[in-house]
Amino acid sequence: MSLQATTQRAWSPLFQLRGVSRRRPDASGEPVAILDHIHLDLAGGLITTLVGPSGAGKSSLLHLLNRLDEPDEGSILYQGRDLRQWDVVELRRSVGLVLQAPVMLPGTVEQNVGAGPRLRGQALARERAVELLRLVGLAPALLERKAADLSGGEQQRVSLARTLANEPRVLLLDEVTASLDPGSARDVEELIVGLTSRLSLTAVWITHNLAQAERCGDHLVLMAHGRVAEEAVTAGFFAGPATEEGRRFLESGKEVHP
């Protein structure tokens, strides 16, 4: 049964992946499938969490969605149009990516937050920078601070504000709370859920934390060995996975995040 058929709320796919494969050479130089003929629809306006063991291909999949990487086979449609037909700069502004370990650009917080607009020749107004900092729960006084001097949690929020300054439609989140302490992780998590709802954003969110996936996600995609093992409405998955792989993963995940 397709995910669309099992979902209570009607939704239209924002991304459609059709037979997407990606191979990379292993240590001996032989190509190994990181993603293996993925067929997947990702819902617009909802939060989809990508879960699965390490090496399942989650990050590789995420990097394909804003064309930081290219599939070897298959095609990806965004808003019904093949990614390769989009202007890549326009696409990346529309589909923002936040990495697991926040990477600060040289300079101040204000320069970091204003990086996106500056790349298209516009200066980010001070009021807008303040607004973005407030939006991600940071004090405007931080604008003058050197970004590299901030704590991990603060840097992750700056990363988020920097991505939001481009006014994206989609947020790709690659384990954005993994490197944070539990308190900061929970704050950032609530912040993202609040932002996606308030700004009507679509989010594709990789997490290793099943409790987080249950709390935050509308849909869940379980990946294993470069394939989609199960896709489900989040509540449905946690009530009882439809596949053996899903059941095993849920059991092992509960041991890690009871």
Partner 1 sequence: MSSFTLSLTLAFTLLAVAASYWQRLALERDILIGTVRAAVQLLAVGYILYFVFHAPSLIFTFLMVAVMVGVATQNASRRGKGLPGVQWRVLAALTLTEVVTIGLMLLFRMIQPTPQYVISLSGMIVGNAMVVAGLLLNRLQGEVDARRDELRVLLSLGATPRQAIQDQLRAAVRACMIPAVDSLKTVGLVQLPGMMTGQILAGASPIVAVRYQILIMFSLTSAAALCSIILGLLTYRLYFNQAYQLAR
Shortest Cβ distance from residue 67 to partner 1 (Å)? 6
User: The tokens of 66 are what?
Assistant: 């804003």
Residues numbered 108 to 137 that lie near partner 1 (CB under 8 A) are 115-116, 119-120
Closest CB to partner 1 among residues 32, 119: 119
> What x-and-dash track marks residues 144-183 binding partner 1 by CB under 8 A?
------------------xx--x-----------------
Task: Candidates 22, 41, 43, 93: give the one binding partner 1 (CB under 8 A).
Answer: 93
Q: Which stretch binds partner 1 (CB under 8 A): 73-81, 99-107, 176-184, 203-211?
A: 99-107
Closest CB to partner 1 among residues 88, 235: 88
Do strands 95-98 and 219-224 pair parallel, antiparallel, or not at all (unpaired)?
A: unpaired
Q: How many residues bind partner 1, per CB under 8 A? A: 25
> What x-and-dash track marks residues 49-68 binding partner 1 by CB under 8 A?
-----------------xxx
Residues paired with residue 33 on neighbouring β-strands, in sequence order: 23
Task: Candidates 31, 39, 90, 256: give the one binding partner 1 (CB under 8 A).
Answer: 90
User: The tokens of 254 are what?
Assistant: 């509960």
Closest CB to partner 1 among residues 147, 185: 147
Which long-range contacts (C-beta less than 8 Å, at least 24 apart) are formed by 128-136? 128/165, 129/165, 132/161, 132/164, 132/165, 133/109, 133/161, 135/161, 135/164, 135/195, 136/160, 136/161, 136/164, 136/191, 136/195
User: The tokens of 92 are what?
Assistant: 């990346």
Shortest Cβ distance from residue 103 to partner 1 (Å)? 4
Buried b (16+ CB within 10 A) or exposed e, 80-112: eeebeebeeeebbbbbbbbbeebebeeebbbbb
CA dihedral over 205, 192, 125, 159, signed as positive or negative: negative
- Which residues contact partner 1 by CB under 8 A? 66-70, 84, 88-90, 92-93, 96-97, 99, 101, 103, 105-106, 115-116, 119-120, 162-163, 166
